Structure 1
Amino acid sequence: MRLKKGYCRLCWHQASQDAKGQVTVLQPYLENVRHHQLFLTNLHRPRCPGPPRGKRRGRPRLSDPAPARLPASGWVQPSLFEARRDFTRFHRREHARLDNPWLAWARHAAHRLGEAHGWPRRVRLDVDRALVIVLSGHTGGDVVRYSEVFPALRSRGLSVERTAEVLDGIGVFLDDRPSSFDLWLESKLDGLAVGIRRDVQDWARLLRDGGPRSQPRDVATVWGYLNRIRQVLLEWSNRYDHLREVTCDDVLAHLGAVHGAQRKHTLVALRSLFTRAKKNGTIFKNPTSRIRVGQQENGVIQPLESNVRTSVAAVTRPADRLVLALAAVHAARPGAIRRLQLDDLDIGNRRLVVDGRVRPLDELTLQAALAWLEHRRRRWPNSANPHLLINKQTALETGPISGVSVSAALRGQTATLEKLRVDRQLEEALVHGPDPLHLAEIFGLADKTAIRYANSARALLAQTAETGPVS
């Protein structure tokens, strides 16, 4: 049966054999597979009943590397020119130099790092093999680049991330990959006029990195700003060469085509851009200076409909069930869920600390937490990550999981994590009364946000008194 991307298991094995030692992308080789060797079940690898003969039961213990020190740094002959090394041609019998002091130091550092982070045996063996490949011919002053080690390690199925972590720890690693922000910014600046492109690039980098009198913004803010105004910048690039040619009428004409929150966000982004250009002296007058954002009227927050059960049924994994309980019961934001530590969960005293606020641990969240902790103990028994939620990547590290991992289970569902959180806060206002102080104390809401929830609950309660219960 064709189970993976239209190919069967034996096709993948045949393509892997054809591409062995050449490339890591199997798609071209899969397209060329016209036949493959068949075998009868249980004959290609005979298995005898009982324990293996002549072998010990269980796996031998991985021996600890000998203690090592940082190699002494003396006089080093500078390189006449920079030559890139090809680690893909490494052969262990011919090129391995296990007595290299840099390799001994790296193996010792990898052993300490693996013990601290709880690396399993497989990861330790992979990292040790990778270090032998990379550091057998290493000398003082050499730098190992990401672009050099990636092809060699990926083709052998070794962990590039863990190896780079060890190399960076001993100070010989250089990450020469292009920044994801630079690649994204380059794609967004494509098509803009040269003069407009220069000002927009300077403004976007200032937002992300900050400056002498400007605090750096979150990268999501930069994404939102530039995505919001890119279309109008492309339109202006067809008529103008510089931002100084844009007038107030041009800005008003574009703002007239958008309404509500889109108008507000567009004007805020344009105002930030033109303010930066005016400060740099590339424009003479700010065309957005006399345009008012206006007061946006907030509508009444509505409770979720009865189709929440479909979203609940879509959550099957223990981690996703715990995330669902934290959002639906404790109104925790995805960022707060990612930051939760194991110490924040006090099962004995039935307490949970969410962003510094102590909350009682209800039965639903308690059962979801116990199921997740049991799954975590069986899946990653040696992980040293202090965060409550981990996955197969972060189990070998100490950082939190990504925001995509938190919200992936409910993506595309009617009741997302954000809607569940909003519904829980609205429910608190409906059950305990529309008191902004109570909402701010329970969920840590800002003043205006708590007032908005209280006003929405008051409007819904008045509607219920007039027309009956709200569905």
Structure 2
Amino acid sequence: MAPLWERVARPRLPKYERRGRPRKPDPPPASPPGGWLQPALFEVCRDFTRIDPEQHTGPDNPWLAWARHTAHRLGEARGWPRKIRLAVDRALIILMSRHVGGDVVRYSELHPALQPRRLNMELTIEVLDHIGVFLDDRTPSFEQWLERKLDGIAPGIRRDVEHWVRLLHDGGPRSQPRDENTAWNYLNRVRPVLLEWSTRYDHLREVTRDDVLAQLDALHGGQRQHTLVVLRSLFRQAKKNGTIFKNPTSRIRVGQREYGILQPLEPEHINISVAAVTKPADRLVLALAAVHAARSGAIRRLQLDDLDIGNRKLTIGGRVRPLDDLTLHVALEWLEFRRRRWPDTANPHLLINKITALSTGPVSEVTLSKPLRGQAATLEQLRIDRQLEEALVHGPDPLHLAEVFGLDEKTAIRYANSARVLLVQAAEQQLR
């Protein structure tokens, strides 16, 4: 038997070599097929479910060779594991073995063939899109949602509302597209109002100022303010398009929104949230929110280069912060787990999971919020509590809060006012 030091130093072979199987060779270099393309006379839906990758492989097909070469380059660049590379290659054999110039692979054709075989559709689609043969024929989720939300609204009102929502979503000649969540929130906010007006009116030009005030009088606080802002946007666009004669929301004051006093979290709520996170990534996310008051969007966008272990610095949202002992400990724990779990990933983001490790995008919002779902101390509550704690410990100074956390002046003043009230209440209780 060989000495222990020789057995320990012996390199560990891949599974396929330990089992005596030769490594599958890399696909040979290929270039995009050229030449003249015969336009299709009519479209024909193909059935890829009947293709057996073991029997119907067309090794001489230049399109298959180009697709396999593209998949190999993407896999090398993204660090795809061998299992994923073989799955994508098998999918490409099914879809491209009989491909000819001018053909496209539609999602409706691809899904029935790959889904039952449990082949990776997302990465296969990415390869097909790189070589320009993929056609997504699915109905966009936005179109399905818009059709549902406009159902029940009077046709005349519906035309103006649909044009307004599409302008928010897609933009126009003189307006930039808004975030998709903005379009969703705006229409969801005024849909009950539009349904009520649809029972009496056929067009928005029939809506009067009194109708708007009647709807606003039934609301209070932030709901009233938000509803008026959305109605102003809708009628302003309708006036610009010439479909109404007068804007009924003009000269209706929004009013100053009154915020309540922010309250610190109870210690037991924080302890429960700390005990709820058990994975290295979740512990790092909790530390970033509870210690550095980082928003979930900023956490998702963090890059590996933003974490400077040597100089103990962390850059969040463009602001450099010192790296405390707790954050340093959980960050090192996560980096070690990440290195062992995905050693070949090319994703530059600090936080990744089994899905994003194969690409270069950030993790989803759900990935961050799921571990603390249902807890009293969520990531957002922990972020707020950290900023309020800074105001209570160092004094209610808006300038200090703006400098430490990068807050705008209104938000910093709000935290300072809440801290001032809490400090006064604490002093009064001590005097009693």
| Equivalent residue number for residue 131 of structure 2 | 170
Matched, 1:213 2:174: yes
CA displacement at 1:241 relative to structure 2: 1.3
Matched, 1:378 2:340: yes
Matched, 1:144 2:110: no
User: 1:95 aligns to what SS in structure 2?
Assistant: coil
Aligned partner of 1:299 among 234, 246, 260:
260
CA displacement at 1:429 relative to structure 2: 0.9
Kept in 2, the 8 Å contact 1:62–1:121? The answer is no
CA displacement at 1:62 relative to structure 2: 3.4
User: 2:175 aligns to what SS in structure 1?
Assistant: coil
Q: How does 1:239-278 map to 2 (within 5 A)?
A: 239-278=200-239
Deviates more, 1:241-250 or 1:113-122: 241-250
| Equivalent residue number for residue 315 of structure 2 | 353
- Which amino acid in 2 is paired with 1:400? P
Aligned partner of 1:365 among 327, 347, 365:
327
Would you tell me which structure has more helix in proportion to its own residues?
2
Matched, 1:288 2:249: yes
Q: Deviations over 1:119-170 (max 9, x none)?
A: 0001100010011110111111111111111110111110110000001111
Q: Deviations over 1:348-386 (max 9, x none)?
A: 111111011111111111111111112212221111100
- Which amino acid in 1 is paired with 2:358? L
CA displacement at 1:94 relative to structure 2: 4.2
| Equivalent residue number for residue 318 of structure 1 | 280
Matched, 1:61 2:23: yes
Kept in 1, the 8 Å contact 2:314–2:321? The answer is yes
Q: Partners in 2 of 1:108 and 1:149 — Cα distance?
A: 20
Q: How does 1:100-115 map to 2 (within 5 A)?
A: 100-115=61-76
CA displacement at 1:255 relative to structure 2: 0.7
| Equivalent residue number for residue 408 of structure 1 | 370
Q: Partners in 2 of 1:305 and 1:228 — Cα distance?
A: 33
- Which amino acid in 2 is paired with 1:350? R
- Which amino acid in 2 is paired with 1:415? A
- Residues 223/58 of structure 1: CA separation in 2 closer, same or farther (3 Å cut): farther
Kept in 2, the 8 Å contact 1:208–1:218? The answer is yes
Q: Partners in 1 of 2:430 and 2:51 — Cα distance?
A: 77
User: 1:81 aligns to what SS in structure 2?
Assistant: coil
Q: Deviations over 1:414-470 (max 9, x none)?
A: 01111110110111111111111111111110011111111111111111111139x
- Residues 58/458 of structure 1: CA separation in 2 closer, same or farther (3 Å cut): farther
Aligned partner of 2:291 among 316, 323, 329:
329
Matched, 1:79 2:40: yes
Q: CA RMSD in A?
A: 1.4
Matched, 1:191 2:152: yes
Matched, 1:133 2:117: no
| Equivalent residue number for residue 417 of structure 1 | 379
Question: TM-score by structure 1 length?
Answer: 0.86
Kept in 2, the 8 Å contact 1:119–1:383? The answer is yes
CA displacement at 1:257 relative to structure 2: 0.8
| Equivalent residue number for residue 4 of structure 1 | none
Percent pairwise identity: 73
Unaligned regions of 5+ residues in structure 1, if any?
1-54
Q: Deviations over 1:199-246 (max 9, x none)?
A: 111101101111111121111111111111111111111121111111
Aligned partner of 1:308 among 249, 262, 270:
270
User: 1:353 aligns to what SS in structure 2?
Assistant: strand
Unaligned regions of 5+ residues in structure 2, if any?
1-16
User: 2:199 aligns to what SS in structure 1?
Assistant: helix
Q: Partners in 2 of 1:246 and 1:259 — Cα distance?
A: 21
| Equivalent residue number for residue 3 of structure 2 | none
Matched, 1:238 2:199: yes
Q: Partners in 1 of 2:325 and 2:145 — Cα distance?
A: 45
Q: Deviations over 1:379-414 (max 9, x none)?
A: 211111000011111010000011111111111110
- Which amino acid in 2 is paired with 1:357? R
- Residues 362/60 of structure 1: CA separation in 2 closer, same or farther (3 Å cut): farther
User: 1:359 aligns to what SS in structure 2?
Assistant: strand
Aligned partner of 1:117 among 74, 78, 83:
78
Q: Partners in 2 of 1:60 and 1:118 — Cα distance?
A: 21
Matched, 1:468 2:430: yes
Q: Partners in 1 of 2:374 and 2:184 — Cα distance?
A: 22
Q: Partners in 2 of 1:214 and 1:326 — Cα distance?
A: 36
Please identify runs of 4+ aligned residues in structure 1 that moved more than 4 A: none
Q: Partners in 2 of 1:451 and 1:155 — Cα distance?
A: 57
CA displacement at 1:58 relative to structure 2: 6.6
CA displacement at 1:59 relative to structure 2: 5.9
Q: Partners in 2 of 1:73 and 1:388 — Cα distance?
A: 44
Kept in 2, the 8 Å contact 1:70–1:105? The answer is yes
User: 2:115 aligns to what SS in structure 1?
Assistant: helix
Q: Partners in 2 of 1:386 and 1:342 — Cα distance?
A: 6
Q: Partners in 1 of 2:21 and 2:283 — Cα distance?
A: 35
- Residues 231/59 of structure 1: CA separation in 2 closer, same or farther (3 Å cut): farther
Kept in 1, the 8 Å contact 2:169–2:179? The answer is yes
CA displacement at 1:299 relative to structure 2: 2.2
- Which amino acid in 2 is paired with 1:182? E
Q: Partners in 1 of 2:345 and 2:38 — Cα distance?
A: 43
- Which amino acid in 1 is paired with 2:105? V
Q: Partners in 2 of 1:423 and 1:345 — Cα distance?
A: 24
Kept in 2, the 8 Å contact 1:323–1:337? The answer is yes
Q: Partners in 2 of 1:381 and 1:92 — Cα distance?
A: 30
- Which amino acid in 2 is paired with 1:69? S
CA displacement at 1:57 relative to structure 2: 3.6
Question: TM-score by structure 2 length?
Answer: 0.93
- Residues 77/447 of structure 1: CA separation in 2 closer, same or farther (3 Å cut): same
- Which amino acid in 2 is paired with 1:290? R
| Equivalent residue number for residue 440 of structure 1 | 402
- Which amino acid in 2 is paired with 1:180? S
CA displacement at 1:73 relative to structure 2: 2.7
Matched, 1:342 2:304: yes
